[in-house]
Structure 1
């Protein structure tokens, strides 16, 4: 997430808004060389520094688990798709994270539409979303570890994400950048803070299935929704403007709230979650 924050901040500085195509191409090439250099350095560090596995297992539960084979993973995936609670979570998680991806992808375009020439501030707004989101992930994670209120916490954070998105939608065109910074920061706190909640909730809903499998499925769904939302929002912005495009996301976030509220066992009522006998995984 910190890398994404840097990605919002640095490119507008490296690539200024100029009309000369040759100069623009030069600045873009400089940015690409820097990105390529950093990626190459990280690749080398992965080869040299990263080990196949840690010296000691990260938890008691992990130490007693056998190695996961391909057939085991496939069987786990089939069982997970038969778990209605998990399917509801995957869809609601995908809607939230997909909306975040689309919003961040098209943020520059939407900001410039209402605040021409503010490319650098558009990057700073994106930085604000991510930094506030980093704080949100830490706070929500600590809260969940202490309270174990999985459904209640997830639902409250989802509702606050929707509220933040609605406020951002109807204040973007007011002509005050400081308002945009506040609304996007608040929205990012909850929208990004929801992400670790989804992984924690998935483990509770699917134990004793391998958490690596449930986490992988949670990662796939937002990519699908993110592509769909980005393409759709881009078309809506081109034809109708930024507000209808953001209302489009609000509609799907509302659907996500409904799916999150859908009946599940656990702290939200009904049968308790099947907890690991060795404690949190």
Structure 2
């Protein structure tokens, strides 16, 4: 007896399922991202206060964040194997545990002679921040549809930047009236105890609710990727991929520009502006919240219009424009131009970061996202450890205006490189081949 056309079509159709529990998993992950990121920005946002309390300098303070870059270079290979061997749940629990340990060590370092202990505690959230970042694509791929991944990456960036914005509120809300070391110590204690409690809470939530993956995959792309075994040789093959190399350089430079502006903002503002405390708080918060807006917006744009090359050419052009405007604001000592340029660099720089990471998942498919992301973060680390100290040193030797010209040159170089990108949407093509039905539970 011949089967009907409907039966044959039904046999070929694969039903993939998404689960409502994915939003709980995402929420817990976002809490872990937030508290790890807040600790990374915690001291650069109040650099002048830390200098006064611990008797250090801006270059050392910048290393409370750049320690993250150093950690990436040291542990990114072990973390690749850890992420692939132990999975999302175990890695999240491990990361939140060390976040909590680091926060509690820093709580014990509230003494002007214990800066070394503070740096020891700071090394933990800076190190495990990479592990959290590496398992985001693993979680997104396991629980969310392919066309939702860019949105998840945008949310990840938004939470990270929201943490940065929260850190930049500290100068105005907590330390504006702090003049003596005792007053500074009280402010640092309030911040440290809140962070310590929050990290322990997130650790407990991770143990209770985090799960590796749902009963069935959300897409054909994820099903195919999960059947692929990890190979270090596959990582090396990425560097034969022209699109990947271009994205690697463009993303690392764009990120380094944003990081350099963010980390040297305190130094630039206090050296050039009157009423520096308020100018720093406003520009820092605008930079962070516009970064959140840019990160979230680009995810919705790529979901509806996955024209990666066109979007990246536009983004890199705008990044150059706002970087030039930033230098102009310092030269004219114009607060309003500074606010506009800081906002633009935040929004465009981070939108471009989300766009690049989503594009990398396309051109590197079916290689695991945790592997490609760790390689991308290594690029961030190398350039952050180069560009930010260079801008800091030039600001100290000359001034912030001359130092920021390095950022303009970098942004123009990114503009040129994006022209040579090609669209190679391997992940979306894999999904299109099957045309799966997707249900929601």
Bucket of the pairwise TM-score, normalised by the shorter protein: 0.7 to 0.9
Does the 8 A contact of 1:125 with 1:181 survive in 2?
A: yes
Identify the residue that residue 170 of structure 2 maps to in structure 1.
10
How far apart in 2 are the matches of 1:176 and 1:240?
A: 20
What stretches of structure 1 of length at least 5 have no aligned partner?
A: 267-271
Greater alpha carbon shift after TM alignment, 166-175 vs 24-33: 24-33
Instruction: Kindly state the Cα deviation for residue 47 of structure 1 after the two structures are TM-superposed.
Output: 2.0
Coordinate RMSD, CA, aligned? 2.3
1:201 aligns with 2:354: no
Count of matched residue pairs: 272
How far apart in 1 are the matches of 2:216 and 2:391?
A: 46
Match of 1:29 among 164, 186, 189: 189
Q: Deviations over 1:187-225 (max 9, x none)?
A: 222111111110122123223333332222222211221
Question: How does 1:57-76 map onto structure 2 within 5 Å?
Answer: 57-66=217-226, 69=229, 72-76=230-234
1:277 aligns with 2:434: no
Instruction: Kindly state the Cα deviation for residue 19 of structure 1 after the two structures are TM-superposed.
Output: 4.0
1:218 aligns with 2:373: no
Does the 8 A contact of 1:154 with 1:197 survive in 2?
A: yes
Instruction: Kindly state the Cα deviation for residue 15 of structure 1 after the two structures are TM-superposed.
Output: 2.4
Identify the residue that residue 133 of structure 1 maps to in structure 2.
291
Identify the residue that residue 211 of structure 2 maps to in structure 1.
51
Q: Deviations over 1:114-173 (max 9, x none)?
A: 224432441231111121122222322222232221111111101100110101111134
What stretches of structure 2 of length at least 5 have no aligned partner?
A: 1-160, 434-441
Identify the residue that residue 79 of structure 1 maps to in structure 2.
237
Identify the residue that residue 192 of structure 1 maps to in structure 2.
350
Instruction: Kindly state the Cα deviation for residue 18 of structure 1 after the two structures are TM-superposed.
Output: 4.1
CA 1:40–1:11: 2 relative to 1, 3 Å: farther
Identify the residue that residue 8 of structure 2 maps to in structure 1.
none
Instruction: Kindly state the Cα deviation for residue 233 of structure 1 after the two structures are TM-superposed.
Output: 1.0
Does the 8 A contact of 1:76 with 1:209 survive in 2?
A: yes
Does the 8 A contact of 1:102 with 1:227 survive in 2?
A: no
How far apart in 1 are the matches of 2:363 and 2:213?
A: 27
Does the 8 A contact of 1:88 with 1:259 survive in 2?
A: yes
How far apart in 1 are the matches of 2:358 and 2:320?
A: 21
Identify the residue that residue 199 of structure 2 maps to in structure 1.
39
Instruction: Kindly state the Cα deviation for residue 243 of structure 1 after the two structures are TM-superposed.
Output: 0.8
Identify the residue that residue 258 of structure 1 maps to in structure 2.
416
How far apart in 2 are the matches of 1:9 and 1:22?
A: 20
Question: How does 1:110-149 map onto structure 2 within 5 Å?
Answer: 110-149=268-307
1:161 aligns with 2:358: no
CA 1:111–1:228: 2 relative to 1, 3 Å: same
TM-score scaled by structure 1? Answer: 0.87
TM-score scaled by structure 2? Answer: 0.57
* Secondary structure in structure 2 of the residue aligned to 1:52: coil
How far apart in 1 are the matches of 2:345 and 2:332?
A: 17
Does the 8 A contact of 2:171 with 2:277 survive in 1?
A: no
